[in-house]
Structure 1
Amino acid sequence: MGLVMEEVLIVDGYNVIGAAARRASEPLGAAALEEARQALVDALADYQAVTGRRVIVVFDAHRTAGPAVTTREHGVIVTYTAHGETADERIERLVGEWLSPQRRVYVATSDAVEQWVVFARGALRLPARELLHELAGVRRDVAARMETLSPPRTSLGDRMPEEIAERFEKWRRNGDSAS
């Protein structure tokens, strides 16, 4: 029996959101940015559930005052960096913390310099476009699974004995209350 390696995906959140926006050719406003963050976390939660990879998403908050904030949303670890700390710095530190002989770490970003830095530290690179492609595939897989799990929709008329259905139809057409 072979050794099963745990897999961890660390995502540069704003980099992936930017790649998605470039694909859609849509600029992101402040309200849209919050929606984009939530949509990414939701998609990553589905991805984590389907792939079994642990997912950590890092959002750059180095221009805001305050400490780093880490929460868990739908099983995804969501981190906002501390004042003065970039997402790249946090990702590099996370690679060091998570990488082990029993664990494979992937970093999703399209930042070429960051890809080389994390690769040099032992992580595997996953371009943002490739992650977006995988997320779309997971969304299709989940939708297909949900379709097969959903019982076929039936109406009361489908389950009703024919003679009763005919009586109801007759009442409907004639407006009679008895026949």
Structure 2
Amino acid sequence: MRIVFVDGYNVLNSWPNLKENKISSFDGARNKLIDIMHNYGSYSDSKIILVFDGYKVNGNLENTENKNKNLSIVFTKGGETADSYIEREVHRFGRRCDICVVTSDWLEQQTIFQRGAVRMSSIEFYNEVSEIENSIRNKTEKNKNMLRNHLQDNVDFDVLKKLEEIRRSD
């Protein structure tokens, strides 16, 4: 399983669809990102670790919520940035796993790369997630069309023939 660390606030400030939501409701934008990451993790069979800074929140304790097998949400402890949390965890996993880190922070990308993880900018990740969302949407539409319940599929051929005769006789 691939592990993807996502710098939550970095993504919130980079993705166009989340920037708009952030203006009206910061919590709403964060919840939308959580929903998107849940879908992405399930579809791509990746473990998503979504990390939000607790850096400016004094006395904040590190908090991890495991939403399901594909998504964990981490709020770092006070004084710790998402970057430092991600660096520590990538170092802990070492090169034993396929790890990707999503951030547009250039220094963070260089540090992560040196520790053996793949790096991806927030915009590159946005494009990947958008492609997956479109793929899901297309599959859903295709399945919906295939599962339509047509009268002709459920009526005996003789009854269908008589109905057609009645329709044509008008």
Q: TM class by shorter-chain length? A: 0.7 to 0.9
Tell me by how many angstroms 1:156 deviates.
7.5
Q: Is 1:139 aligned to residue 137 of structure 2? A: no
Tell me by how many angstroms 1:137 deviates.
0.7
Give yes or no for contact 1:12–1:58 (8 Å, CA) kept in 2: yes
CA RMSD of aligned residues (A): 2.6
What SS is found at the alignment partner of 1:106? strand
What SS is found at the alignment partner of 2:104? coil
Tell me by how many angstroms 1:96 deviates.
1.2
Tell me by how many angstroms 1:100 deviates.
3.1
Compute the TM-score of the two structures, normalised by the length of structure 1: 0.76
Q: For 1:154-169, what aligned pairs fall within 5 Å after superposition?
A: 154=149
Compute the TM-score of the two structures, normalised by the length of structure 2: 0.79
Q: Which has the larger radius of gyration?
A: 1
Tell me by how many angstroms 1:18 deviates.
0.7
Q: Which runs of 5+ in 2 are unaligned?
A: 164-170
CA deviations on 1:36-60 (whole Å, 9 max, x unpaired) are 1111121112211222221111011
User: For the residues of structure 2 that align with 1:52 and 1:83, how far apart are their CA atoms?
Assistant: 31
What SS is found at the alignment partner of 2:3? strand
Alignment partner, residue 89 of structure 1? 84
Give yes or no for contact 1:46–1:138 (8 Å, CA) kept in 2: no
Alignment partner, residue 19 of structure 1? 14
Tell me by how many angstroms 1:20 deviates.
0.7
Alignment partner, residue 173 of structure 1? none
Give yes or no for contact 1:55–1:77 (8 Å, CA) kept in 2: yes
Identity %: 28
Q: What amino acid sits opposite 1:136 in the alignment? A: S
User: For the residues of structure 2 that align with 1:121 and 1:98, how far apart are their CA atoms?
Assistant: 10
CA deviations on 1:11-56 (whole Å, 9 max, x unpaired) are 00110111114x7774833x52211111112111221122222111
Tell me by how many angstroms 1:10 deviates.
0.4
Give yes or no for contact 1:68–1:82 (8 Å, CA) kept in 2: yes
Alignment partner, residue 35 of structure 1? 28
Identify which of structures 1 and 2 has the higher relative contact order when contacts are C-alpha pairs closer than 8 Å and 6+ apart. 1
Q: Which runs of 5+ in 1 are unaligned?
A: 1-5, 165-179
